Structure 1
Amino acid sequence: MNTSTRIWLITGVSGGLGRALAKEAALQGEIVYGTLRKPEQITAFNELVPGKTFGLELDVNNHGQIKSVVEQIMAKSGRIDVLVNNAGYGLFGAIEELSMDEARMQMETNFFAVLAMTQAVLPILRKQRSGHILQISSMSGLRANSGTGLYNASKFALEGMSEALALELQPLNIHLTLVEPGPFRTDWAGTSSVSAKNKIEDYELSSGARLRLLQSTSGKQPGNPAKAAKAILLAVNSDHPPLRLLLGKVALDAVRDKFKTVEEEFSKWEAVSLDTSFEE
């Protein structure tokens, strides 16, 4: 655990969990660089915790701009200790309803942009032989549901890549934590989300019903972003941070139920699974 003032880079700090985490880290004495897509948002972020929070313009899908942001931070602070890949959005729609352009943009933002940012910062962390990468995933990265299949796919991809990266980083004293929130009171299911333009009536009772529920509860979710930020800081400050940090009872219950169901199915089909080897 690094007890000195750390330098944080958090993507997507205009609101929600990203902003809550930036504020909490800064209030705990850290220096936080936060990225925002709109230049007019920068001043407000600079004033969030004056002298501790600094806004930088970035569209995470502009990989050339990622390099520039990292260079700016290094020029000002000389190091990066904590990278938080938070920027992303939810794409709503049944699998058949989604266009290829809609699907690709979901993967570009939620996966490839995270990969690009992670690759941009890794040389710095390797040189330092220290650091912590926080990948803001979701309970949806471990358990899929109707209506958010491509969002699930983007987070499943993030989980797989990050699990491998964590193993690669073990000898280098660099930590990685996948943060997996359940429903938190942010705008994720509101104006921050994108819905498929195409609608197919046959899916109204499955994905349609779930998406109406998600949107009707937007702003009423049980999770408190400020408390989530404190939980994430506890993980970062731990001598033995977790690979996965589920946030909220809904997430914990849902993922435990998923693993229970998977294990039951494995057991049911165990004989078939095992009867696939050459007879010696």
Structure 2
Amino acid sequence: MTTSLTWIITGASRGFGRAIAEFALAGGDNVVAAVRNPESVADLAGAHPERFAAVEFDAADTARAQELVRASVDRFGRVDVLVNNAGRGYIGAAEEVSEADLRESMDLHLFGPAALVRAALPVMRAQRAGTIVQMSSQGGRLSFPGVGTYSAGKFALEGWSEALAGEVAPFGVRVMIVEPSRFRTSFNAPGTLRFAASRSDYADILAAVRADLAGADGIQEGDPVKAAELIVSLAHAERVPLRLPLGAEAVQRIGNAYRRGLEELDQWEEAARGTDFAGVPASVRPV
């Protein structure tokens, strides 16, 4: 890595965010860590006083997005990479999750990242360069019983980000949506992963899912350090993929989801095509 970049990373105190921050700093980059408690990254501040800054920040607090971007520009003069990493899982059936909890998940996984992107884009457009890294999940491409609340935010983030990628490409700004499987972060840790109160109607349906997610802490197959190395190297590369699955399970499960979707499309293609007006030419769209 020959050119130094300036990063803003939310949720940088642990997990993917911490690993990305450490690897970026090791390569000579500048890092602005957006964390709830700056003391959680005091060791990084001590080790890299000239290239690291910690900013107290709640990733769901959209009102402070501009302040965070200003802190990066004031300290390092630019913003090259924005990593929207902060997030948490919430497990429960649709009837078990309250509206307030669903909205909280959407605030964290969609509205918070969107506010930060809007705050950073004027800087990146002026630079004619920048990379936006949206930390999604394999749960942003497929879902299953019990994870609808989490997947809702990640599906929304991916759709919003896919449109964003086309909007900002003419300004030299890239978007990369990262879709990890199970990585050895604190995602599954007690007190981090949240569970809705179980209803008897869904107890048997979700029992295996609840047990699997609660029991995964510390045995996940994904290595956050290897993931961070790949993400940082891509931020320095000439090209980035729009979507980047991480981990063998993510590649397998997302691939299976695409294949099932194509099979279902083929199965219903004739009936679906038959719902158009007869004789009306197909629309011609700009994209």
- TM-score normalised per structure 2: 0.93
Aligned AA (1:72)? A
Aligned AA (1:148)? V
**Paired residue for 1:181?**
180
Aligned AA (1:52)? R
Give me the whole-angstrom Cα distance separating, in 1, the residues matched to 2:117 and 2:205. Answer: 36
Give me the whole-angstrom Cα distance separating, in 1, the residues matched to 2:144 and 2:230. Answer: 26
**Paired residue for 2:246?**
247
**Paired residue for 2:283?**
none
In structure 2, do the counterparts of structure 1 residues 263 and 49 end up closer, same or farther at CA, with 3 Å as the change threshold?
A: same
Q: How does 1:1-280 map to 2 (within 5 A)?
A: 3-47=2-46, 49-190=48-189, 191-196=191-196, 198-280=197-279
Q: Secondary structure of 2:16's match?
A: helix
Aligned AA (2:202)? Y
Q: Please say if residues 59 and 112 of structure 2, whose CA atoms lie closer than 8 Å, have aligned partners that are also in contact.
A: yes
Q: Please say if residues 23 and 48 of structure 1, whose CA atoms lie closer than 8 Å, have aligned partners that are also in contact.
A: no
Aligned AA (2:243)? R
User: CA RMSD for the aligned pairs?
Assistant: 1.4
Shifted more, 247-256 versus 3-12: the winner is 3-12
Q: Secondary structure of 2:132's match?
A: strand
Q: Please say if residues 93 and 195 of structure 1, whose CA atoms lie closer than 8 Å, have aligned partners that are also in contact.
A: yes
Aligned AA (1:193)? L
Q: Please say if residues 85 and 134 of structure 2, whose CA atoms lie closer than 8 Å, have aligned partners that are also in contact.
A: yes
- The percentage of counterpart residues that share the same residue type is 37
Q: Please say if residues 143 and 255 of structure 1, whose CA atoms lie closer than 8 Å, have aligned partners that are also in contact.
A: yes
Aligned AA (1:252)? V
Aligned AA (1:153)? A
Give me the whole-angstrom Cα distance separating, in 2, the residues matched to 1:45 and 1:56. Answer: 13
How far does residue 3 in structure 1 lie from its aligned partner after superposition? 4.2
Shifted more, 72-81 versus 159-168: the winner is 72-81
